[in-house]
Amino acid sequence: MANDEVLARQLQKQLDAEHAGISQGKGRLEESDRDYARRVQEEVNLEAAFDAATAVVNAKEGINLPYAPNPPPQPLRKLCQTQPVGPAPVKK
């Protein structure tokens, strides 16, 4: 009987120690998750602030980026016909 009680106390101590370790590990994971969520939110806020600042600068400079698509490429023959070649004419 005495051996059973001693064994039961030892097992209870082991279980308590394991539970304390698990609880501590769980607390560290929860803290780590909160830190990660905070860092992700800070990054999202920083990106939003950057996008807003970029939009203000683009509006001041009259740039419609990044949403304006690039013009379609033109064939070389058409470019040669529409743009002057050689030196600019001298006005008299």
Per-residue pLDDT tens over the stretch 11-55: 888 888 887 777 777 777 778 888 888 888 889 889 988 988 888
Domain assignment present for residue 11? The answer is yes
Domain assignment present for residue 68? The answer is yes
Give the domain extent around 65: 2-82
For 72, the token pair is 């379609």
Helix locations, 62-87, DSSP H: 76-82
- Count up the domains in the chain and report the number: 1
- The Cα 18–Cα 8 span in angstroms is 15
pLDDT at 86: 61
Domain assignment present for residue 89? The answer is no
Domain assignment present for residue 67? The answer is yes
Checking if the pLDDT of 57 tops 80, the result is: yes
pLDDT at 25: 72
| Average pLDDT of span 61-87 | 60
Q: Phi/psi class of residue 62: alpha, beta or left (left: φ > 0; alpha: ψ in -120 to 50)?
A: left
Checking if the pLDDT of 77 tops 60, the result is: no
Q: Are 65 and 58 in contact (CB under 8 A)?
A: yes
pLDDT at 20: 77
Domain assignment present for residue 91? The answer is no
Q: Are 72 and 79 in contact (CB under 8 A)?
A: no
- The Cα 2–Cα 80 span in angstroms is 104
Domain assignment present for residue 90? The answer is no
Domain assignment present for residue 45? The answer is yes
pLDDT at 75: 59
